[in-house]
Chain A
Amino acid sequence: MAKARAIDSRRKSVTNIQKITRTMQLIATARYQQSLAKAVASKPYTNKISELVQDVSSAGSADDHPLLKQNDECRKRALLLLTSNRGFCGGFNGNLIRTASACLSDNLVHGFDTDLYVVGKKGIRYFSFIGQKLADTFPDLPDAPSFQQVQTIADDFMTQFKSGTYNAVHVSYMRFISAARQEPETAQLLPLQKETSDDDANAETDISSASVTYDYSPDPGILLAELLPVTVRIRLYQFFSESVVSENVARMVAMKSATDAAGDMKKMLTRAFNRARQSQITTELLDIMGGVEALK
């Protein structure tokens, strides 16, 4: 009886775990849809800002803007790593940490020191564990930060970059390509790189808007100097948004696998339980029959 009872209690605990993972999967699905809607909502702003930058660039050059110039004398870079606060999201954090570590080694090979900034408890815990010094950890940031919160971080990086503290600022984040595909990536935030539009549609709009003569207020040069920091802020906000969406997708997939695995395990345990119960009944029957035979 002891074996069947042990299997039964294990089966019950697997059922409970399955209920938890299924609930977590549903929560991750709801959060994924919410975060995806938020990420999609920021696209028109991003596209329009890039369009304005292209329009204004054609009228006034800002090549000497501090956000476009790389300070080659400075041998220090900043790396911002965006991880999650919570686990149960498969290889999400592991992949990001590997990407950031590769960037740190790469910087070292090229003779740059790196100040590491980490968002998310998982990344902080890992780098603290291996004894890596962190420049800042942003403990007050929620799971899905608002534009205002991201703006503060972007402004800090811009101030430090303009003052010559850093040669470049990179961000390691999980790029959201589709619901089935997300890739860890290290992107350059500063200095700003000129966008290369490989999209035909974009190229067409470039040509059409290049012929427009605007009434600029203030001058195009000043306007461009105002637009570039906005570009940096919205780019960083997009990295954050994509990371949040990818995290929710990763959690959704991980929890689905866990639910499926629990289902398989339950089936296996049920079979083992039935077998144990059956053999127990057979043994008991044999005992009774043996007893009856002995009484004859």
Chain B
Amino acid sequence: MADTALHCNVITPELNVLDCEATSVVLPAHDGLVGIMNHRAPMLCKLGFGALKVDSALGTQSFFVESGFAQMLDNRLTILTDRAEPISNIKPDEARKELDDALILPSGNDEQVNARFRAVERARARIRAISA
């Protein structure tokens, strides 16, 4: 196990969400999904919205993360994110309602357009995460 494992740590400002040995991790980087296995070269990337999947001896644990950073160094993967919510806690009805609410947000100026775009992207990512 030790040879094929990497240490995975998911930290939010309020909680140490996960601290375990994992066989592989798939994380939502800002430009797409990134798969990480043991002894990967050092990496530092920005995260986007999406599902974070951690495969370990206990099974697969999935979290919805929104923004943050991932650092891979010395076979240790550290994920810093504002929020990591277990995907099983997301209710489909609420996720769909969130998307409907995001779609009717005002888009009068640049700031509002950006905020609306971000809210829609986030809501769509949540729906994608639960349907996957």
Binding site for B on A (CB under 8 A): 38, 41-42, 44-46, 48-49, 52, 55-56, 146-148, 151, 209, 212-218, 222-223, 226-227, 230, 233-234, 237
Contacts and interface: CB of A to CB of B under 8 A. Distances in A.
A151 B13 CA distance: 11
Contacts of A237: 13
Given A38-B14, A212-B73, A230-B69, 19 more contacts: A41-B14, A41-B15, A45-B11, A52-B69, A52-B71, A146-B14, A209-B73, A212-B42, A214-B42, A214-B43, A215-B41, A215-B43, A216-B44, A218-B31, A218-B46, A222-B46, A227-B69, A234-B13, A237-B13
B112 interface: no
Contacts of B82: 147-148, 151
Nearest to B79: A48
Contact of A223 (B14, B44, B80): B44
Contacts of B13: 42, 45-46, 147, 233-234, 237
The main secondary structure of chain B at its interface with chain A is: strand
B16 A217 contact: no
A208 B83 CA distance: 29
Q: How large is the interface on B (under 10, 10 to 19, 20 to 34, 35 or more residues)?
A: 20 to 34
B80 A49 contact: yes
A216 B34 CA distance: 13
B61 interface: no
A216 to B, nearest CB: 5
A45 B75 CA distance: 19
Nearest to B40: A215
Interface of B: 11-16, 29-31, 41-46, 69, 71, 73, 78, 80, 82-83
Contacts of A45: 11-13, 80
B11 A217 contact: no
B45 A216 contact: yes
B87 to A, nearest CB: 20
The main secondary structure of chain A at its interface with chain B is: helix
27 contacts: A38-B14, A41-B14, A41-B16, A44-B16, A45-B13, A46-B13, A48-B71, A48-B80, A49-B69, A52-B69, A52-B80, A55-B44, A55-B71, A213-B42, A215-B41, A215-B42, A215-B43, A215-B44, A215-B45, A216-B44, A217-B30, A217-B45, A217-B46, A218-B45, A223-B44, A233-B13, A237-B13
A127 to B, nearest CB: 29
Contacts of A213: 42
Given A49-B80, A212-B42, A217 B29 contact: yes
A212 B40 CA distance: 13
A237 B59 CA distance: 34
